[in-house]
Structure 1
Amino acid sequence: MARKKIALIGAGNIGGTLAHLCALKQLGDVVLFDVVDGLPQGKALDIVEAGPIEGYDINLTGTNSYTDIQGADVCIVTAGLARKPGMSRDDLLGINCKIMRDVSENIAKYAPTSFVIVITNPLDAMVTLCKRVTGFPKNRVVGQAGVLDSSRYRTFIAQELHVSVRNVTAMVLGGHGDDMVPVRSYCQVGGQPVEQLIPGPRLEAIEDRTRKAGGEIVALLKTGSAFYSPASAAIQMAEAFLFDKKQILPCAAYLEGEYSIKDVYFGVPVVIGAGGIERVVELRLSDKEKSEMQVSVSHVQELVTAMDNVLAQKA
């Protein structure tokens, strides 16, 4: 049986972590690409040399040439500038548009049948641009956002109640920014609704921390942004595709009327399998959650408009 091929576009902190996770999980052959000479090659060699210790066999190539991603089954895009203290995800827009356009053109050229997972921020704009430039159908371009945001929400709830994160089910929808929507009505701890376990004001504080969790890490690191958890989130999505898991995961998907939202990438639960995004799962939301979703989608639409203005200026 032929091994799957995973292309990682960007060999920074997230890209390097992705490569290591691919090796540990033995997901297939891996190509780690970056424009910086020596960076992907050095990280690839380092990871390969850990193989005898960790017990994995991997064909991992570090490269500065897009031709090496030829025929990839999955492309995970992390290329772009990371956030620094005081920056919002939206502040990255002008810088990362050019990078994403170049990356997308090369994915379309060398990996035209791949399933693309975008991590680069501002996520909702970058995944939109990737779909436009590649021309891929909506089921084959997805943004990594909700898996990470939901994991953060689950973490904070588990810490509050002193229980295992495995006992917490939770979902965060909406845009990958300060208007994301932790869906309280679908959050349970050991089968119990979270609202029965955590007082309202405390739960609101946890949800606010969830929205600002990425910025909290940026402020602590001072020189970059989160990379372990975003990489883990993207790998979970890639595994769902590679192994046809039919797994329900919250992701930035292109909507065409679901949740009464049209023609925009937005964080919703989707089923990911061998067909990519195989369907959108529509939850019954409370009126408050519906209202929060509309606020979030308005911000995403504004972000996409801002991106279009940036692209028009550079045209």
Structure 2
Amino acid sequence: MTVWGADAVEDAHRAGQALVIAARDILTPLAQERARELQVAITTAVTPPTAVTPRASAPSPAAGPAPVTRASASTAPAPPAPVLVRARAAPRAWVYSPPAPFVGAPSGALYRRGAPVAGRSAVRAGGPPRPVVVGAGRTGRVVVVGAGHVGMIAALRLVDADQFAEVVLVDIDEGRAAGIALDLTHTAALSGFATAVRGVGTVEAAGPADYVVITAGKPRQPGMSRSDLISTNAAIVGDLARRCAAVSPDAVLVVVTNPLDEMTQHAWQASGFPSSRVVGMAGVLDTARFQALAALGGSFRADQVSAWALGSHGEEMVIPLSQARIDGRPLTDRIPSADVRAVVDRARGSGAEVVGLLRSGSAFMAPGMSAARMVLAMARDSGEVLPAAVLADGTYGIRDVYVGLPARLGRHGVTGIVPVDLQPDELAALRAAADRIRERLADLATAS
């Protein structure tokens, strides 16, 4: 038995030939990955099997498929060969179907740090192995840029969902990205997922993606506002958006970096993508914070509260209380109006409250899960309406600026902005938030 690595695939690529291996040889996961990237076909050499006496009788049809037995050399079929098949559903996507000798995960020692793990078929008892599809269809690849706490939690939620073929963490500290990817891989049996996880140092190494979550940037420190980060993080987000667009021209960008609204608009401009494929995360996070805080003082659960957090991710956050409900009833029927307004104020300052308590760094649990929530809603193509930073199209009397609005999400991003009946003061506050975001964008343009 021979173990074939990536170097053998690269040698075959340079020679313009297929890689021929024996039926009992092992192909490492890295070699499989390089074969997909270089489009090198892998074939199995046919070796005469040992002749044995065939079984005397065949099982009845009710007993299921006949067991595999050895036959004479003259009658035994050739072992199946692995094939790289061009996927018709999407360009640049390849499907690797391993042959029967590869069923069963190879030794853990064969994996490089952060390498993709074997697909579900390698550990599931019975049945032929299923091909692992990377980068094609609605369950392809998600790239999370930034392996800090927010990126780590987003990746954890995406992997646990078992929705995608692969989740890739990207960080300038490649060792951190690879280490977190390997750590997540170790939880596969605990959480019951088959999603492959990798950690790399660049978006180029990650490969084409269906969704890219941008969390990279400087975090807030105590005493800092989100706006204090605008110039520093604009340089980071702009560069990443351009590079992601080059590698993944059909992806949807989900921006998490602060200041959220301004960075989302900056990513849209830098990427050159249509606005429907660039969306900011904050509304889901701010709504979740409001729901949780409202439930703290009541005899109900947070997920019984329905509300919208619109406007800006910060001081100009707008939570229309006319739309807030508990199991369909007005929120103010269960909580005094003064207490509700106190909850709104606390939700606006929740990010700073967490920063102050942590003393170093910023919130990451809820932000990471919120970003994953948006990606999953799009991948499932459920048409769900979520509050998100989107480019205003004239609805609510706001146009040409990214601001938090109710948006319907589909597989390829935003499919529309949903109008909600707001009270005059709520609508005025929403428009004021959009105006304030414009002012900060103008300051960014001047600083640039």
Shift of 1:122: 0.3
Identify which of 141, 147, 154 aligns with 1:18: 154
State how far apart, in whole Å, the 1-side matches of 2:429 and 2:147 are: 36
Identify which of 267, 274, 281 aligns with 1:144: 281
- What CA deviation, in whole Å up to 9, does each residue of 1:133-188 have, x standing for no partner? 11000110000011110111111111121211121111111011111001101100
State how far apart, in whole Å, the 1-side matches of 2:303 and 2:261 are: 28
Shift of 1:195: 1.9
- What CA deviation, in whole Å up to 9, does each residue of 1:59-102 have, x standing for no partner? 11100022223220000000001111101100111110110111
Q: What is aligned with 1:205?
A: 342
Q: Which moved more, 1:199-208 or 1:180-189?
A: 199-208
Shift of 1:190: 1.7
Q: Which moved more, 1:19-28 or 1:125-134?
A: 19-28
Q: What is aligned with 1:235?
A: 372
What letter corresponds to residue 254 of structure 1 in structure 2? L
Q: What is aligned with 2:87?
A: none
Question: Is residue 2:315 matched to residue 1:178?
Answer: yes
Contact 2:155 2:372 in 1 (8 A): no
Contact 2:174 2:199 in 1 (8 A): no
Q: Percent identity?
A: 33
Report matched runs for 1:189-200 at 5 Å. 189-200=326-337
Q: What is aligned with 1:295?
A: 432
State how far apart, in whole Å, the 2-side matches of 1:258 and 1:70 are: 36
State how far apart, in whole Å, the 2-side matches of 1:304 and 1:254 are: 13
What letter corresponds to residue 176 of structure 1 in structure 2? H
Q: What is aligned with 1:32?
A: 169
Identify which of 253, 256, 267 aligns with 2:390: 253
State how far apart, in whole Å, the 1-side matches of 2:319 and 2:334 are: 16
- What CA deviation, in whole Å up to 9, does each residue of 1:27-67 have, x standing for no partner? 21011001123110111111111222222222111000222
Q: What is aligned with 1:268?
A: 405
State how far apart, in whole Å, the 2-side matches of 1:98 and 1:36 are: 18
What letter corresponds to residue 225 of structure 2 in structure 1? S
**Bigger Cα Rg:** 2
Contact 1:115 1:141 in 2 (8 A): yes
- What CA deviation, in whole Å up to 9, does each residue of 1:245-279 have, x standing for no partner? 10000000001211111110010001001231001
State how far apart, in whole Å, the 2-side matches of 1:244 and 1:264 are: 25
What letter corresponds to residue 143 of structure 2 in structure 1? A
Shift of 1:285: 0.6
Q: Which moved more, 1:165-174 or 1:116-125?
A: 165-174
Report matched runs for 1:48-67 at 5 Å. 48-67=185-204
The SS at the match of 2:434 is: helix
The structure showing larger relative contact order (alpha-carbon pairs under 8 Å, at least 6 residues apart) is: 1
- What CA deviation, in whole Å up to 9, does each residue of 1:221-259 have, x standing for no partner? 111111110111111110111110100000000012111
- What CA deviation, in whole Å up to 9, does each residue of 1:166-220 have, x standing for no partner? 2111111101111100110110012210122222221111110011011110111
Ranges of 4+ aligned residues in structure 1 off by more than 4 Å:
none
RMSD over equivalenced CA pairs, Å: 1.2
Give the helix-richer structure, 1 or 2.
Answer: 1
State how far apart, in whole Å, the 2-side matches of 1:168 and 1:256 are: 28
Q: What is aligned with 1:284?
A: 421
State how far apart, in whole Å, the 1-side matches of 2:355 and 2:447 are: 25
What letter corresponds to residue 4 of structure 1 in structure 2? G
State how far apart, in whole Å, the 2-side matches of 1:310 and 1:224 are: 26
State how far apart, in whole Å, the 2-side matches of 1:120 and 1:50 are: 27
Question: Is residue 2:300 matched to residue 1:163?
Answer: yes
Q: Which moved more, 1:124-133 or 1:161-170?
A: 161-170
Per the alignment, do residues 58 and 274 of structure 1 end up closer, same or farther by CA in structure 2, a change over 3 Å counting? Answer: closer
- Normalising by structure 2, what TM-score? 0.68
The SS at the match of 1:150 is: helix
- What CA deviation, in whole Å up to 9, does each residue of 1:12-31 have, x standing for no partner? 00111111112211121011
Contact 1:31 1:68 in 2 (8 A): no
